[in-house]
Amino acid sequence: MRFTPHDYQRFAIDFIKEHTNAAVFLDMGLGKTVITLTALDDLLFDSFEVSRVLVVCPLRVAKTTWPQEIAKWDHLRHLRYSVVVGTPKERVAALSRPAELYIINRENVEWLVKHYAGRKMPFDMLIIDELSSFKNSRAKRFLALKKVLGQFTRVIGLTGTPAPNGLEDLWPQIYLLDRGARLGRTMRSYLDMYFDTPNSWLPYKRELKPGAEEAIYQRISDICVSMRAADHLKMPERVDNVVEISLSSREEKLYRQMERDMLLPYADGDVLALNAASLAGKLLQLANGAVYDEFHNVRVLHDRKLDALEDLIEAANGKPVLVMYNYQHDLTRIQQRFGKYSPENPNGVRELKTAGDMEDWNAGRIPVAATQPASTGHGLNLQQGGSTIVWFGLNWSLELYEQANARLWRQGQKETVVVHHLVVKGTMDEQVMQALKDKAAGQNALMVAVRARIKKTKED
């Protein structure tokens, strides 16, 4: 296929070529992989500024997305690549193959650094696809890359959600690009510079200092560019719908008991929360209708969300429905209610796990599919198979939420995308919905701030 870049794609290609260190915040559906590969092709074979490129990305993206994009476009098919996954022996063999691109999953970064311990790594450029997955400055993958940053002459980070949970997440990602030149050499200095802890009894609850948000944006603006899909693509219409669900007085009493006492006693195994984080998870499970006890047995409290899901599936009138679930007992109960897929029961609920599942979904052969957001978060195009999403259970991650919705709400979708959220009134569900909205507001502020660079450059 011939690649004719849109104006925004040409801008991003040039930005990568012109900056030895850059963060490219590309919204879902804007073609970040082909943009990056096109820039790499010029750097490799036109200006000869790099010779071997290391690409770090999620496992599924390493195995499918990057190879597929290279094979898809005519101008990229000459690129040699090697996918460094599998057993240690297979990884070593992949590293020895002649190639311009070496694509490795992020879980193996620590292994790769140890493999070249005491030697210079044979790469002169680093691409970090889904840069936001390096937001934890104490994670092994971050610490491993930090050791070898000086060996790369170019570092590019790609993501659609650079600060999904607030600007505290930003420091590790920018550090991987500039080794602390803009936001400080350490996470501690960054937090001290831009954040306050107004409540001494909550030392990890931080708030931005006055003017800090603008100062952070200003500091990183020279190496960051941002693009939103809605600004550049004709996106399909999206409708967000909250389905409010009420508990019975008995069910609400049990929920409040767990909320108050952090305990639901049973004769053969209690439902117990050991801390606030554990309690939040238990309450989300209870809102879904079932919860694990201390022995990992499932305690079912209600079927309110299953009833609501049944109404939505019926209202879809045969149109495919993609259900997002969080806990294994959610999937089990959904399949018990609506039937589990098998060759003998092709209309049962089918979990999207394999490439064959994805192919069947896009071919319209799956009436009701179920998946965990983390399993469909990056690199999958599911827009051809349906346009209805139902969030059976919510989670706190804005990144997973946005990425999961973007599997259907993206370029190429022919129908209006409807995103249903099953929300039990008066429960943790409502708090998660509000948190996602609040985080989205902060994320949009960051994207708008750096997106202004494009407008200014075009005007100049």
Model confidence over 420-448: pLDDT tens digits? 999 999 999 998 998 888 877 666 666 66
**pLDDT above 80 for 2:** yes
Higher pLDDT, 233 or 74: 74
pLDDT band at 457 (very low <50, low <70, confident <90, very high): very low
**pLDDT above 70 for 252:** yes
Mean pLDDT for the stretch of residues 254-258:
90
Pairwise CA distance, residues 450 & 30, whole Å: 16
Pairwise CA distance, residues 33 & 40, whole Å: 10
The DSSP 8-state label assigned to residue 203 in this structure reads T
Among the ranges given (192-206, 275-289, 336-350, 366-380), the one the predictor scored with the smallest mean pLDDT: 192-206
- For residue 298, with 0-12 CB atoms within 10 Å meaning exposed, 13-18 middle and 19 or more buried, which class applies? middle
- Within 13 Å of residue 308, how many CA atoms lie on the same side as its CB? 24
**pLDDT above 90 for 460:** no
pLDDT digits (tens, 9 = 90+) for 315-357: 887 889 999 999 999 999 999 999 999 888 988 999 998 888 8
pLDDT the model gives residue 16 = 96
Q: Are strands 271-272 and 101-105 parallel, antiparallel or unpaired?
A: unpaired
Dihedral sign (CA 388, 437, 328, 268): negative
Read off the tokens for 152: 């790369």
Mean pLDDT for the stretch of residues 286-300:
89
- For residue 430, with 0-12 CB atoms within 10 Å meaning exposed, 13-18 middle and 19 or more buried, which class applies? middle
Mean pLDDT for the stretch of residues 127-145:
93
Instruction: Write down how long the chain is.
Output: 460
**pLDDT above 90 for 266:** no
Among the ranges given (346-350, 354-358, 361-365, 369-373), the one the predictor scored with the smallest mean pLDDT: 354-358
Among the ranges given (164-168, 244-248, 370-374, 395-399), the one the predictor scored with the smallest mean pLDDT: 164-168
- At a CB cut-off of 8 Å and minimum separation 6, what does 301 contact? 251, 254, 255, 286, 289, 290, 291
Read off the tokens for 417: 């995308």
Higher pLDDT, 121 or 280: 121
pLDDT the model gives residue 237 = 83
pLDDT the model gives residue 199 = 63
Identify the structural domains of the chain with CATH numbers, from first to last: 7-233 (3.40.50.10810), 238-244+303-432 (3.40.50.300)
Pairwise CA distance, residues 180 & 288, whole Å: 43
pLDDT band at 206 (very low <50, low <70, confident <90, very high): confident
pLDDT band at 458 (very low <50, low <70, confident <90, very high): very low
Mean pLDDT of the chain: 88
pLDDT the model gives residue 203 = 52
Contact criterion met (CB below 8 Å) for 403 and 378: yes
Mean pLDDT for the stretch of residues 40-65:
93
**pLDDT above 90 for 412:** no
Among the ranges given (30-34, 58-62, 204-208, 325-329), the one the predictor scored with the smallest mean pLDDT: 204-208
**Residue 423, CA distances (Å) to 78, 305, 393, 441, 452 in order:** 50, 8, 8, 21, 36
Cα 313-439-11 angle, rounded to 5 deg = 95
Pairwise CA distance, residues 415 & 320, whole Å: 12
pLDDT band at 296 (very low <50, low <70, confident <90, very high): confident
Q: Per residue, what are the HEC states of 64-133?
A: HHHHHHHHHCHHHCCCCEEEECCCHHHHHHHHHCCCCEEEEEHHHHHHHHHHCCCCCCCCCEEEEECHHH
In this prediction the pTM is 0.69
Q: Closest Cα partner for 82 from 122, 22, 39?
A: 122
Read off the tokens for 427: 């429960």
pLDDT the model gives residue 385 = 85
